[in-house]
Amino acid sequence: MHALSGAIKKYDWGDVEFIPRLLGLPVTGEPVAEVWFGTHPAGPAQLSDSGEELGSLTGELSYMVKYLSAAHPLSLQVHPSRAQAQEGFARENAAGIAIDDPQRTYRDASDKPEIVIALSPFFALCGFHDPASSVGWFRAMGWHALAECLESRGIEGYVVEALTGSTLTIPDNLPAWAANLRDAYPADPAVLVALTMHWVELAPGECLTLTAGTLHAYLQGNAVEVMNGSDNVVRAGFTSKHLDRNELLRITDFTSCASPVKRPINGAYPSIGNFTVAVHDAPAHITADSDTIVVTTTGLAFLLRAGESYALADGTAYATTSGTRS
């Protein structure tokens, strides 16, 4: 059992205060977007024991835990299935695209199902509304061209036209959340796609589960994410990063769904990947029966294994892992 220091990611959409204050770091005014706890080569966590640095957490840890703090929207995106990731990774390797090339889409051969659990009010887009209800809303808003396209072509045809065609324009009379996206990304056709999606506000403790093909975008708020150990993101908008709209259209699941918001049952969250997730009120005693990462967000917790106990202060993490240290 060792303490973990996560890999800090300072993306431009990050909040300047939440993660530094959580980790007890200085607030410098620089955005801090994510902290990674895992073994992904783009940001392995660091091990320590009684203050002694032991090197990187390595091995075959199949999942990753993150703190996430968004002050601005993340990209409209989708994650691939395992087969799609393997095929895309091999294809880009064969094309000679370097792993760290900004124009690369597939950075590893893993799928990336993930769960995001709100730590504060958390705003997101996730999945598609029933198209008939969207058509009715479009007509009520006076967006007749959008309504006709969606009604005649269905969700997939509408999204294809929005992202690759030229017949649809972004309306002026948008709801506040969509107007904010339009103002941040003028003329980005992803706004047209967002209008067909569920806009949700998660209360602390509520979650979204994102399986392969689920279109989504995180807009604002603080959360814990757990996912398979992958960095594969296929983007269509709301970002200055590489867009691969044709690939996104190929792998997106265009099935509509009811509200995507979920809650834990008896402290357990839905299981969708190489991991299970549970929440414990602090103070708590947590038994780890397998490779486990525990992150704390408030209060004091103890992790128990083989009769031992370890105190976890706010913003720290401990891991039990079969991996080696380097």
Share of the chain above pLDDT 90, in %: 69
- Residues 6 or more apart in contact with residue 275 via CB below 8 angstroms: 62, 63, 226, 227, 228
Residues 68, 34: contact at Cβ < 8 Å? yes
For residue 58, name the pLDDT band (cuts at 50, 70, 90).
Answer: confident
pLDDT mean across residues, the chain: 90
The stretch 153-163 carries a mean pLDDT of 98
- pTM value is 0.91
pLDDT tens digits along 276-314: 898 887 677 777 767 788 888 876 666 665 555 565 667
3-state secondary structure the chain: CEEEECEEECCCCEECCHHHHHHCCCCCCCCECEEEECCCCCCCCEEEECCEEEEEECCCCCEEEEEEEECCCCCEEECCCHHHHHHHHHHHHHCCCCCCCCCCCCCCCCCCCEEEEECCCEEEEEEECCHHHHHHHHHHHCCHHHHHHHHHHHHHHHHHHHHHCCCCCCCCCCCHHHHHHHHHCCCCCHHHHHCCEEEEEECCCCEEEECCCCCEEEEEEEEEEEEECCCCCEEEECCCCCCCHHHHHHHCCCCECCCCCECCECCECCCCECECCECCCCCEEEECCCCEEEECCCCCEEEEECCEEEEECCCCEEEECCCCEC
> Residues 116, 121, 125, 126: what is their CA dihedral angle, to the nearest 10 degrees?
40
Query: Could you give the domains of the chain?
Result: 73-277 (2.60.120)
- Higher-confidence residue of 61 and 312: namely 61
Q: In this predicted structure, what is the pLDDT of residue 309?
A: 52
Say which range, 37-41, 112-116, 195-199, has the weakest mean pLDDT: 37-41
Distance, CA of 79 to CA of 208 (rounded, Å): 14
For residue 324, name the pLDDT band (cuts at 50, 70, 90).
Answer: very low
Q: Please say whether the dihedral angle defined by the alpha carbons of residues 138, 142, 148 and 149, taken in this order, is positive or negative.
A: negative
